[in-house]
Chains A and B, each alone.
Chain A
Amino acid sequence: MATTQPAQHPRRSMIYRILREAGAEFEALADAAVAMRYADGGDEVALARRLGLADLSPLARTGFKGRDTPDWLVTQQVAIPDEPGQARRQSDDALVLRLSADEHVIVSDLRTRSELPATLDAEWQLSAERMCYHMPRADSYCWFAISGECATEMLAKVCGVDLRLDKFDDGRIAQTSLARINAVIVRNDLGTTPAFYVLADSASADYLWPCLIDAMKEFEGGIVGLAALRALV
């Protein structure tokens, strides 16, 4: 695929300038550009297995909230998690996060094969008959992935929730404070590699990204592109 620059696309990651500085090679993906790999990135797959941080903000995601949301999602053929605080992988690898009884977030798969976020956004309409309302999560959240065997220990430097792998199963969600800002943390292992998605305030992305990189240093973790994460699955 041809490389591109984020500013040529209407949808830009909140931190595209930081990624560009770090040597990111961007590839076009729908209406956005995603950091696929980094110049001088070395063996990014090995890094991702150890401790990797990737920006997934350009990937599709959406959200719905309101009393009738679970029912509506079911009519849209979405397999919703049984309980709040759980995420459920769909047959096309999209992930559905249930944040509360009536609030759900739907995020794309890493290969962006899933059409689910786009389909739901297209299907949804504000209706007087149904209490299901759109939450523009592609804009309100930045989306990072933290992968690798050191991910739990590194997150313990910035988060007070017990995320040890035997206590916090794949698919569990913690809505909590991460480096002093609110965040949704969901464990979503990539193949056999433990991994966490972080969804946090998009306006705080410029703050959070370097903060996480600083926390990663002692574990010799680093930035990885989407290609490295794809290789893990």
Chain B
Amino acid sequence: MSGVNRLPAPAGLLVDHDQPISFEFEGKRYKGLAGDCIASALAANDQWLISRSFKYHRPRGVLTMAGQDANVLVQLPTDPNVLADRYPITEGLRVHGQHYTGSLEKDRDAWIGTFAKFLPIGFYYKAFYKPKGAWQKWAPLIRRKAGLGVVDPTVDPGYYDKQYKFYDVVVIGGGPAGMQAAVTAAQAGAEVLLVDENPVLGGSLTYARFDIDEPNSEVTRQRLLAAIKASEHIEVMTDATCNGWFTDNWLAVIRGKRLYKVRAREVVLAAGVMEQPATFGNNDLPGVVLGSAAQRLIRLYGIRPGRRAVILTGNDDGYGVALDLAAVGIDVAAIVDMRSQSRSTPLVDAVREGGIKVILGHTVYEAIGTDRHIKAVMVSRIIRRGQCEDTGDVIDCDLLCVSVGYIPTYQLALHAGAKLHYDDESAMFSISDVPQHMRLAGSVNGIYDLDAVLADGRRAGWLAANALGLKWEREPLAPENTGASGRNFAWPIFPHPNGKDFVDYDEDLQVADIINATRDGYEDVQLVKRYSTVGMGPSQGRNSALTTARLVADAMGRTVAETGVTTARPPFAPERIAHCAGRSFYPERHSSMHHRHLEAGAQMLLAGVWLRPAYYGGKGERDRCMSEESLNVRNNVGLVDVSTLGGIEVRGPDAGEFMNRIYTFAYVKQQVGRGRYVVMTNEQGVVIDDGVACRFHEHLYYVTATTGGVDRVYQNMLRWNAQWRLNIDVGHVTNAWCGVNIAGPRSRDVLAKLCTDVDLSAQGFPYMGVREGRVAGIPARLLRVGFVGELGYEVHVPQHGGEALWDAMMEAGYAEGIKPFGIETQRLLRLEKGHIIIGQDTDAMSHPGEVHLAWAIARKKPFFVGGRSIQEIERRPFSRKLAGFVVNDLAAPIPQESHLVLRDNAMTGRVTSCYYSPTIGKPIGLAFMAPDQAVPGQTVSIRSTGGVLVRAEIVELPFYDPENKRQEM
């Protein structure tokens, strides 16, 4: 037997009586059935206390049985805040209640509740915000007392992933309206996805009582299930939650460990309604449940939810609940009907015929209980709206079912821009302004009568298909009898003089808290929410929005319609960060010589998305390796991988004119076979990229760009020419080429062994010359450039030849002592030569004049991008200048990037690059500073590591080989 409250087989649509499952709650073993959720399995064993409340540590248990409340949040070893009324039990599952000190049964912090009166909303902030700093001290203590579950950071969350899905029509909600809408849309030929958060389709058909003939709903469900099964066009996702609507019908649907990114052409929202609690004293005691929760326990899980029950109702649905309880042998002590009279309907008549006592015009004044469960209710006569006598009859019971009304499951519609309206006449919320490509169907649309619900589903499915141009029979008419009338009792709120009349169970907010918020001056419902935190808990106002709106309206003397409600935003239900993160994608680019660097023992570093060798050697050997590598370039020959450099081809009859407009220098007259430095500025005159333009043909410039900047350079070029309409074509060829820079006084000797079809002599291939030839048999583009300040050649070959080129170079240079060098070493070498790196030695304000690039501007051209702005800038005094400095005190801590340049303790600039230079014999660097500081011979202060002030001497650039003899050898 799986618990004292379990009904005999075959009761319970979801459970399998032949499959017992044992699990633990609070260290005690329980038996449930396959198909049980945690809460149902506990209820079967008469364990109703599931957790403690957020603020007052009140005992809490099942309220909605629909995953709509925070009362049933429990802790699993792997997960906090799991909804016990949704999460299925599995063999050996270990479950704990949350938020108590000591034990769930005897929470040592339960005393806090007795001080509730002294903890009005805003109490913590009001009490602890003075003196300054007090809140920082108190907050951790207070938050420890109030909080949810515990995250175990060592738990491996497992494999989460995302997937796109595309459908013509997505129907959200698999109740009668949704099932029917799916069937109709599919009949018209639409590809349909039907999403439901429950394990089986059917929605209210699986638990609710629509009429006296109870089996009718199961017959309807089976008929719809058969139609869905028969259709080739319907995909069903159960146990799946549509957690948000985003622009253009992009739906986030979560199932298991996957987030589906569903794109729907049309959406039918058939999400149903959420039953609402009533407000009275101790309305949160375990054993006080919604009528629909009791029905779910009975029909879905085969559980008798009590032995002696009282029904508190304001509509006819409470009578249906009474019949359901009686049918499973529960003694229904009374129906307490808030209405002063009831109509004669089949349900009401059936109850009366069954001999169940009905007390009209009364309400429950308070629930009376132990510290863990309800044991009786006091029933009092209603005097006027919201007020009842404070005495009455006490009726013993262990179950109180509440049926006083509903709100539509409005969230997704509101995400899409629909509005929630309140009709003071019917006391109901309704959804209006539903956007294009979305339709409502069923009870979310304010339709309750089952035949009308099905008709509404049919109509919504038809309209969705029709919007897609799919024709199917005639347009179904909108149902006439909605069955909505009388569903909501207008004012099921009876504040108790001692409080504990909860409006928001998540946040432990009582009627007085909401009223006090309005008295503290927060008169708008949005402000009430922010001040009191009503609706901000895990259930996001599902059980509190309606009561809050009514209370605020009443307190302000307005109608509920005028008061409005707060906004609904995604997510619909709490979601895991793992769902948002999904599988991690970290794109990473490798040069074709990548594996050779690894084999040579390089320390790799991520430069943008490229992995590049920093230097070759052990982790702690950076300084030594850089020193050796740099000296080998200066004295011998070194090899560096420059494959990551951007490569763009500008080609066509107007290529020269285009280059003239896009870069600052002059290119029209550049000779074929020559390279020329390029600087790109944006329209503000700010330096954004540089490189070398190699003219290989009258109509072809091969332009290099910075590793991180090339994509932007390429897009810039295309955008400008979309306006200029010059006769050119631009090709992005970065990944088609790879290359090395072979540099050092012996580089020519090495290259000569591999390249015989190019005259490599100083006259035949001068500095800034460019050539095409073969290197190691591979077709190559050779650029004689001097970034590191020595004789050197960049050799670019097609990507596929990179590894072979590297191998050939290393082999050919063996006798000359060739060594690879990394980009850290390259940065040091170029710094010695005084070359700036765009993005490191420049920022988003740097114009050419302040970073020593004024020489690269051709001022006679009619136009280049940024030219006019540079003119304007240069007419004004400079605010800063980049200057080279050396640190003569070798004992001083070497300045780092972004260390401040000071004058009289005030910042005038910052260091952009700084290294110890083995060639110069001291630290050298570049820094922005005030123009009058940037004069060679002057000394400035830099606040270096540890706040130490370091004296730096300003020097002329470059630091190394000012006559450029080395690179022009």
B699 touches A10 (CB 8 A): no
**Contact string against A for B residues 584-601, beta-carbon threshold 8 Å, 1 for contact and 0 otherwise:** 011111111011000000
CA distance in complex: A4, B162 (Å): 40
**A214's contact among B583, B737, B778, by CB below 8 Å, is which?**
B583
CA distance in complex: A107, B806 (Å): 28
Tell me whether A39 is interfacial, beta carbon within 8 Å: no
Tell me whether B697 is interfacial, beta carbon within 8 Å: yes
Which residues of A lie under 8 Å from residue B651 when comparing CB positions?
66, 126, 131, 133
A139 touches B798 (CB 8 A): yes
Known: A180-B587, A202-B799, A211-B585. A157 touches B735 (CB 8 A): no
**B729's contact among A131, A179, A205, A215, by CB below 8 Å, is which?**
A131
Question: Which residues of A127-178 are within 8 A (CB) of B?
Answer: 128, 131, 133, 135-141, 153, 156-157, 159-160, 162, 164, 167
Known: A135-B733, A136-B798. A156 touches B585 (CB 8 A): no
Which residues of B lie under 8 Å from residue A160 when comparing CB positions?
164, 261
A136 touches B736 (CB 8 A): yes
- Nearest-CB distance from B594 to chain A (Å)? 7
CA distance in complex: A137, B737 (Å): 11
Q: How many residues of A contact B (CB 8 A)?
A: 43
CA distance in complex: A157, B652 (Å): 41
A157 touches B161 (CB 8 A): yes
Known: A128-B698, A204-B588, A204-B589. A133 touches B649 (CB 8 A): yes
Tell me whether A230 is interfacial, beta carbon within 8 Å: no
Interface centre among A10, A139, A162, A179 (most CB of B within 10 A): A139
- Nearest-CB distance from A101 to chain B (Å)? 12
Question: Which residues of B750-789 are within 8 A (CB) of A?
Answer: 777-778
Tell me whether A67 is interfacial, beta carbon within 8 Å: yes
CA distance in complex: A24, B699 (Å): 44
Known: A131-B729, A204-B588. A12 touches B700 (CB 8 A): no
Known: A14-B592, A128-B653, A133-B651. A157 touches B163 (CB 8 A): yes
A10 touches B799 (CB 8 A): no
A140 touches B736 (CB 8 A): yes
Tell me whether B166 is interfacial, beta carbon within 8 Å: yes
**Contact string against A for B residues 135-177, beta-carbon threshold 8 Å, 1 for contact and 0 otherwise:** 0000000000000000000000000011111100000000000
**Contact string against A for B residues 725-749, beta-carbon threshold 8 Å, 1 for contact and 0 otherwise:** 0010101011111000000000000
Which residues of A lie under 8 Å from residue B592 when comparing CB positions?
14, 202-203
Which residues of A lie under 8 Å from residue B590 when comparing CB positions?
14, 203-207
Q: How many residues of B contact A (CB 8 A)?
A: 45
CA distance in complex: A206, B587 (Å): 9
B731 touches A65 (CB 8 A): yes
Q: Which B residue sits closest to A214, measured CB to CB?
A: B583
Tell me whether A189 is interfacial, beta carbon within 8 Å: no
Decide if the interface of chain B is mainly helix, strand, loop or mixed: mixed
**A66's contact among B164, B652, B778, by CB below 8 Å, is which?**
B652
Which residues of B lie under 8 Å from residue A139 when comparing CB positions?
735-737, 798-800
B587 touches A162 (CB 8 A): no
**B164's contact among A136, A159, A211, by CB below 8 Å, is which?**
A159
Tell me whether A111 is interfacial, beta carbon within 8 Å: no
B165 touches A156 (CB 8 A): yes
A140 touches B589 (CB 8 A): no
- Nearest-CB distance from B718 to chain A (Å)? 11
Tell me whether B634 is interfacial, beta carbon within 8 Å: no
Tell me whether B801 is interfacial, beta carbon within 8 Å: yes
- Nearest-CB distance from B798 to chain A (Å)? 5
Which residues of A lie under 8 Å from residue B591 when comparing CB positions?
203
CA distance in complex: A138, B729 (Å): 20
**Contact string against A for B residues 785-823, beta-carbon threshold 8 Å, 1 for contact and 0 otherwise:** 000000000000011110110000000000000000000
Tell me whether B263 is interfacial, beta carbon within 8 Å: yes
Tell me whether A201 is interfacial, beta carbon within 8 Å: yes
- Nearest-CB distance from A157 to chain B (Å)? 5
Which residues of A lie under 8 Å from residue B161 when comparing CB positions?
157, 215
B588 touches A131 (CB 8 A): no
B731 touches A135 (CB 8 A): yes
Tell me whether A181 is interfacial, beta carbon within 8 Å: yes
- Nearest-CB distance from A146 to chain B (Å)? 15
Q: Which A residue sits closest to B588, measured CB to CB?
A: A207
Tell me whether A50 is interfacial, beta carbon within 8 Å: no
Which residues of B lie under 8 Å from residue A211 when comparing CB positions?
585
- Nearest-CB distance from A219 to chain B (Å)? 11
Which residues of B lie under 8 Å from residue A102 when comparing CB positions?
729
Question: Which residues of B564-620 are within 8 A (CB) of A?
Answer: 583, 585-592, 594-595, 610
CA distance in complex: A153, B161 (Å): 13
Q: Which B residue sits closest to A138, measured CB to CB?
A: B800
**B587's contact among A14, A67, A157, A179, by CB below 8 Å, is which?**
A179
Q: Which B residue sits closest to A211, measured CB to CB?
A: B585
CA distance in complex: A7, B801 (Å): 11
B587 touches A207 (CB 8 A): yes
Tell me whether A11 is interfacial, beta carbon within 8 Å: yes
- Nearest-CB distance from B697 to chain A (Å)? 5
- Nearest-CB distance from B673 to chain A (Å)? 15
B585 touches A133 (CB 8 A): no
- Nearest-CB distance from A206 to chain B (Å)? 5
A140 touches B735 (CB 8 A): yes
B698 touches A10 (CB 8 A): no
CA distance in complex: A23, B109 (Å): 63
Which residues of A lie under 8 Å from residue B699 when comparing CB positions?
126, 128
Which residues of B lie under 8 Å from residue A164 when comparing CB positions?
166
Q: Which A residue sits closest to B263, measured CB to CB?
A: A162
Which residues of B lie under 8 Å from residue A157 when comparing CB positions?
161-164, 583
**B727's contact among A12, A131, A140, by CB below 8 Å, is which?**
A131
- Nearest-CB distance from A217 to chain B (Å)? 9
A203 touches B261 (CB 8 A): no
B594 touches A167 (CB 8 A): no
- Nearest-CB distance from B591 to chain A (Å)? 7
A203 touches B735 (CB 8 A): yes
Which residues of B lie under 8 Å from residue A137 when comparing CB positions?
736
Known: A133-B651, A201-B735, A202-B735. A10 touches B800 (CB 8 A): yes
CA distance in complex: A140, B649 (Å): 14
Which residues of B lie under 8 Å from residue A32 when comparing CB positions?
800
Question: Which residues of B643-660 are within 8 A (CB) of A?
Answer: 643, 649, 651-653
Which residues of A lie under 8 Å from residue B729 when comparing CB positions?
65-67, 102, 131, 133
CA distance in complex: A203, B611 (Å): 10
Q: Which A residue sits closest to B803, measured CB to CB?
A: A12
CA distance in complex: A131, B736 (Å): 20
- Nearest-CB distance from B120 to chain A (Å)? 50
B733 touches A156 (CB 8 A): no
**Contact string against A for B residues 166-192, beta-carbon threshold 8 Å, 1 for contact and 0 otherwise:** 100000000000000000000000000
Residues of B within 8 A of A (CB): 161-166, 261, 263, 583, 585-592, 594-595, 610, 643, 649, 651-653, 697-700, 727, 729, 731, 733-737, 777-778, 798-801, 803-804
Given contacts A128-B698, A162-B164, A207-B586, 12 further A-B contacts (CB under 8 A): A133-B651, A135-B731, A135-B736, A136-B733, A136-B798, A157-B164, A159-B164, A164-B166, A181-B587, A202-B799, A203-B589, A215-B583
Ordered by A's residue number, 9 sampled pairs between the chains whose C-beta atoms are within 8 Å are: A11-B800, A126-B699, A133-B700, A157-B163, A179-B585, A181-B587, A203-B643, A204-B587, A207-B587
Residues of A within 8 A of B (CB): 7, 10-12, 14, 17, 32, 65-67, 102, 126, 128, 131, 133, 135-141, 153, 156-157, 159-160, 162, 164, 167, 179-181, 201-207, 211, 214-215
Q: Considering the complex of A and B, which 10 residue pairs feature the smallest CB-CB distances, nearest first?
A: A139-B799, A140-B736, A203-B589, A136-B736, A66-B729, A139-B736, A162-B166, A156-B164, A139-B798, A180-B585
